[in-house]
Amino acid sequence: MVVLNRIYTRTGDKGTTALAAGGRRPKHDLRIEAFGTVDETNACLGMVRLHTAGHEIDPMLGRIQNDLFDLGSDLATVETGKPLPYEPLRITQAQVERIEHEIDQLNAHLAPLRSFVLPGGTPAAAVLHLARTVCRRAERCVVELMQKPDEKVSPEALKYLNRLSDFLFVASRYINDKGALDVLWVPGQNR
């Protein structure tokens, strides 16, 4: 259980932040950047949900927001090979499969695309596109982190981010009246 009695601790005043299993890293460390960008994605989803209350995708977004806290915990818990006094929270294959199912569920109602989609249409769709781009940045951070020989990241964490960006794209189309309000890219339109 999380208990936050004090919000400021002063422990980060020297430019470091704590990891879940102990130890500290500089705030510019790639692992910190990765889970910080996951947190940004979650904040974007909070903005999306201002526009989706009562819509059928809102409960999906709520589950995803919770998953993103799981993902942040996963990334903040560095695998050291040493036993921990608790079971670390990791993204599971079941979470990846649930989001795949939701992508398929929404995409079944959409016509195939014949052009790229510009962010826009409805306010919810525009913010979903913003969340998608932030999610893609988080994914790039995780991929870079995985390339470092001394850093371990669960493969499901990366899969989840990859599927989430796909979900956010499909959800943006779905909330745009199932694609009818999509703003399509017109190549060379302003030449």
When pLDDT is averaged across residues 96-121 and rounded to a whole number, the result is 96
CA–CA dist 186, 131 (Å, integer): 23
Contacts of 159 (CB under 8 A, 6+ apart): 91, 93, 96
CA–CA dist 98, 103 (Å, integer): 9
Please report which confidence band the pLDDT of residue 41 belongs to, taking 50, 70 and 90 as the band edges.
very high
pTM of the model as a whole = 0.91
- Kindly state the tokens that stand for 49: 């949900």
Residue 43: pLDDT above 80? yes
Contacts of 165 (CB under 8 A, 6+ apart): 132, 135, 136, 139
What is the model's pLDDT at position 86?
A: 80
Q: Is residue 94 helix, strand or coil?
A: helix
DSSP structural state of residue 1: -
According to the CATH classification, is domain 17-79+94-180 in 3.30.110.70? no
CA–CA dist 139, 149 (Å, integer): 18
| DSSP per-residue string spanning 142-190 | HHHHHHSTT----HHHHHHHHHHHHHHHHHHHHHTTTTTT-EE--TTTT
Residues 116-162 have pLDDT tens digits of 999 999 999 999 999 999 999 999 999 999 999 999 999 999 999 99
Please report which confidence band the pLDDT of residue 12 belongs to, taking 50, 70 and 90 as the band edges.
low
> Which helix (DSSP H) or strand (DSSP E) does residue 130 occupy?
helix 123-147
